[in-house]
Structure 1
Amino acid sequence: MTTREVVEQFLGLLAAGDPDAVAQIFADEIDWYVPGSDRLPWTGRRTTPAEVADYLRVLGENIVPEENIDKVEALVVEGRHAVLLGEFTRTARSTGRIYRMPIAMHFQVADGRITKLYLYEDTAKVAEAYAQ
Structure 2
Amino acid sequence: MAETFVERLGRQDPDGIQELFAEEIDWHVPGSDALPWTGRRTRREEVAPYFTTMWPHFAPGRSKVVPERVIVDGGDVVLLAVWTHTVVATGKEFTTSAATHLTVEDNRIVRMHLYEDTLTVEKAFNAG
RMSD: 0.8
Per the TM alignment, residue 26 of structure 1 is displaced from its structure 2 partner at its CA by 0.5
Per the TM alignment, residue 86 of structure 1 is displaced from its structure 2 partner at its CA by 1.3
Q: Higher helix fraction: Structure 1 or Structure 2?
A: 1
TM-score (norm 2): 0.96
2:29 equivalent to 1:34: yes
Percent identity of equivalent pairs:
42
Aligned match for 2:100, one of 98, 105, 108: 105
2:122 equivalent to 1:127: yes
Q: 2:45 aligns to what?
A: 50
Between the aligned partners of 1:48 and 1:63, the Cα distance in structure 2 is 25
Per the TM alignment, residue 65 of structure 1 is displaced from its structure 2 partner at its CA by 3.7
> How many residue pairs get matched?
127
Q: 4+ runs of 1 displaced by more than 4 Å?
A: none
TM-score (norm 1): 0.93
Q: Give unpaired runs (5+ residues) of structure 1.
A: 1-5
Per the TM alignment, residue 66 of structure 1 is displaced from its structure 2 partner at its CA by 2.0
Q: Secondary structure at the match of 1:66?
A: coil
Matches within 5 A, 1:1-132: 6-132=1-127
- 1:16 counterpart letter in structure 2: R
Summarize the Cα distance change of 1:80–1:121 in structure 2 as closer, same or farther, 3 Å threshold: same
Q: Secondary structure at the match of 2:6?
A: helix
Between the aligned partners of 1:50 and 1:67, the Cα distance in structure 2 is 28
Between the aligned partners of 2:44 and 2:9, the Cα distance in structure 1 is 14
Between the aligned partners of 2:124 and 2:45, the Cα distance in structure 1 is 27
